[in-house]
Structure 1
């Protein structure tokens, strides 16, 4: 196991995040201080997205190994791909080197991996799955992956909000301590639909503000947000809620749209649509806020759309790529 301490990780990430914050923007400079306001306006217009349009085959129901996923990304213009830890673990150094070389050649980076730890269940299950996390992170670190993401269940049958809050803070902090040793960051996603958080006896975190409180309680520099346009919409949030974050607090983003003609409180989490399909979710405001705060990570489409999953694999990727291009056109 990599033995970098939490203190060392903090020192390293401070330099890294500072350098990220200074790069990637197109800057408009004022030649005369009397034109400062005009220059600021030009600077705002000149901002460009820094986040990467990613392909997650699992999110669109396509079965493809890491090599095929990369082929799809190259063919259809994606800028990042979902890592597959089990596949990556089987690659020799030479095979992995060849894969990464091809990714670099085509300017394709990594998206975020999942979290293989059951932090929602029993202490026995949590402890057992946590033991496997260092090896999992070693595989990802070897491949150059630096982001993980997971979601929180928005309700509980047997734990009050406070009990659940304390349990999540403790367990997610333990996960973060391991993740940080490998130079990675962890994104946490809230689930917004009323039909989801009201389904159990005790509602739990289902808004950005509540997630802020949990992350503050975890108090670990590698922990941030997974933002999903669907949950942002169903939680009744606005552009200003996103602007309350710093770009480096957002780890990964999910994009989608909502069915038309369904009141927001009646939306069902598993019934979504491709982004820009209906216009119900205000993706222009969602994405422009991410651009404004300087989010620089992967953003992938997660539509939970049955018809998409029924298409032949390459057709599903093509349709997803078309939806991504339409979505990015909102801000470019």
Structure 2
């Protein structure tokens, strides 16, 4: 596995070129691709040249965001579906192999069964299009009770449910985005990760949690940097990721606004050290 710089996940407003330079400078193994930047290059050939230049810097691609919302209104979903092949062609040309999205863990109108059927149908369709482009899709379940309990019908918010949804699609290119924060807030432990394989994991995020809140009081967008509080068992989490034989990107996604107020080189040096510790 490799340490991955995801500037957006850190709350840093870095343009793509700067992010690449800083990732190489601070010893990251990879950097997230930027679909907007690839589109601005104007062609698949230019995207391929860009991907080659990134690899020449000793960097691998992390994960791109899926440019379509699985729970979007029908008309919006259809429109995005039409535009999806063009976006995937650019990502493929650049050498990107992973895209990801999150599962909204509740709904005000659709009950669990209705929402499951919606996601299953859309996931199966999107996965087939991605597979044709040689891309894998990561799904992130969202664990905090303070989020999934805010609307009438809770939806997928645990590892077990996410794996069941993925299995039901029958798609071989769909897997998990494992986030230590969601794993912790879902009440899961290392035993729940036992038996996972590299093929089932698309990307990994690590974070810590506030020490002054109980698990069910934790807020999705109020996290701590890895190893800051020790609330989350990162040794157990990463031990299971190692045992799975995972070889992909690992990033930090803390949603800490104060990071953007600090010197960027200091922030990235610190994040790089924390990732190196996690990866071992």
> Which TM-score band (shorter chain)?
over 0.9
Counterpart of 1:46 in structure 2 is none
Counterpart of 1:289 in structure 2 is 240
Residue 250 of structure 2: SS of its match in structure 1?
Answer: strand
Residue 187 of structure 2: SS of its match in structure 1?
Answer: coil
Q: How does 1:187-202 map to 2 (within 5 A)?
A: 187-202=138-153
Aligned length: 279
1:261 equivalenced with 2:215 (yes/no): no
Counterpart of 2:60 in structure 1 is 109
Contact 1:193 1:235 in 2 (8 A): yes
Residue 205 of structure 2: SS of its match in structure 1?
Answer: strand
Counterpart of 1:180 in structure 2 is 131
CA shift digits 1:105-138 (9 cap, x unpaired): 3320000000111221321111111111100100
Counterpart of 1:217 in structure 2 is 168
TM-score by length of 1: 0.80
1:325 equivalenced with 2:273 (yes/no): yes
Residue ranges of structure 2 left out of the alignment (5+ in a row): none
Shift, 1:331, TM fit: 5.4
Counterpart of 1:206 in structure 2 is 157
Residue ranges of structure 1 left out of the alignment (5+ in a row): 1-50
CA shift digits 1:188-241 (9 cap, x unpaired): 000001111111100000000000110111110111001101000101111121
Counterpart of 2:33 in structure 1 is 83
Counterpart of 1:232 in structure 2 is 183
Shift, 1:98, TM fit: 5.3
Contact 1:54 1:78 in 2 (8 A): yes
The 2-side partners of 1:96 and 1:193 are apart by: 38
Q: How does 1:18-167 map to 2 (within 5 A)?
A: 51-91=1-41, 96=47, 99-167=50-118
CA shift digits 1:30-73 (9 cap, x unpaired): xxxxxxxxxxxxxxxxxxxxx11000011112222221111000
Residue 274 of structure 1: SS of its match in structure 2?
Answer: coil
> Structure 1 286/101 Cα, relative in aligned 2: closer, same or farther at 3 Å?
same
CA shift digits 1:264-284 (9 cap, x unpaired): 000000100111111111111
Residue 265 of structure 1: SS of its match in structure 2?
Answer: helix
Q: Which moved more, 1:99-108 or 1:128-137?
A: 99-108
Residue 65 of structure 2: SS of its match in structure 1?
Answer: coil
> Structure 1 289/145 Cα, relative in aligned 2: closer, same or farther at 3 Å?
same
The 1-side partners of 2:191 and 2:133 are apart by: 33
Larger of the two Rg values belongs to structure: 1
Runs of 4+ in 1 over 6 A off after TM superposition: none
> Structure 1 87/330 Cα, relative in aligned 2: closer, same or farther at 3 Å?
closer
